[in-house]
Structure 1
Amino acid sequence: MTEMPATRVDHVGIAVESIENAEALLFALGCEKIHEESSEYGEFTWATYVLGDASRIELIAPDDGSESFLTEFLDRHGPGFHHVTLEVADLESAIDALEVRGVSVVDRAEFEHWSEAFVPPSNPTGALFQLMEYYEGYAAHRSAGDRLFVGGEPL
């Protein structure tokens, strides 16, 4: 059976109406904001916060006037837990290993500096899992640089 490649929790994503309003709690908890940018998809902004050496939290908020999966999520559920991102060393191998085990993987997307796919929340945990493989250059194009990686380096 195909084995799962090296994998680790990269971050937990929380859907919010406003990053500015929500981040006050993260600061009170001791988080440091290291990054904020608009999504490659458009329609939302994401910000990354670190807590200690390896804990990362992401806030995602819709851009003003946009309609997307995120606005639909917030309309249906309100602010709260949205997804867990798992960094994988090899996305293709991860997808193969999951599909061999009967796990549905959807919405594969390829970008210049990373690729991703999702395990939908219809799985027995009810959680949305984002599988993400970083490529060379990912950190170089972001102000936080290598701090975006757990331990300062991708798998």
Structure 2
Amino acid sequence: MSEMPAVRVDHVGIAVESIEEAEGLLFALGCEKIHEERSEYGSFTWATYVLGGASRLELIAPRAESVSFLTEFLERSGPGLHHVTLEVADLDRAVAALEKRGIDVVDHAEFEHWAEAFLPPGNPTGALFQLMEYYDGYAETRGAGDRLFVDGERL
């Protein structure tokens, strides 16, 4: 089975030096901050903002005490668009469908409450795409709960 499963834009990730300094613009645009968390899997902090019913933005900032993919990105490119996250209903099927079409998929990883893989920015769009499948427990382990999902439900 190599058909692409259900997929939708989950959020756009924006790399910044400081969430606190950058989020003022998002507030001016009418965003509501619903979540902030230090990643336990990397040296960064991420915050989620909702704009309207289903539009979501994410600010990601490096932790001051470490060097990571994010500090390297900011040194190379400065603040700006980092990635587009697409929620998929079945990550394994999505990866198989993309690879069948000759599209590179890298860094496939499984975590307790989600799985992810990436389409590197060497693709024709020049954008880094994160493919993400949410598992049971993702919302329950975070203060914003189901608000972290587009329209309050995962695919």
- TM-score, normalised by the number of residues in structure 2: 0.98
2:61 maps to which residue?
61
2:70 maps to which residue?
70
Q: 1:98 and 2:89 equivalent?
A: no
1:48 maps to which residue?
48
**How far did 1:137 drift?**
0.5
1:19 maps to which residue?
19
Query: What is the letter of the counterpart of residue 76 of structure 1?
Result: R
Hey, which bits of structure 1, 4+ residues long, moved more than 4 A?
none
1:136 maps to which residue?
136
Tell me how far apart the structure 1 counterparts of residues 76 and 42 of structure 2 sit (CA, whole Å): 21
Unaligned runs of 5+ in 1: none
1:116 maps to which residue?
116
Tell me how far apart the structure 2 counterparts of residues 134 and 78 of structure 1 sit (CA, whole Å): 30
Deviation per residue, 1:89-114 (Å, 9 max, x gap): 00000000000000000001110000
- TM-score, normalised by the number of residues in structure 1: 0.98
**How far did 1:42 drift?**
2.9
**How far did 1:43 drift?**
0.6
Tell me how far apart the structure 2 counterparts of residues 113 and 40 of structure 1 sit (CA, whole Å): 13
Count of aligned pairs: 155
Deviation per residue, 1:59-118 (Å, 9 max, x gap): 000001210000000000000000000000000000000000000000011100000000
Query: What is the letter of the counterpart of residue 97 of structure 1?
Result: A
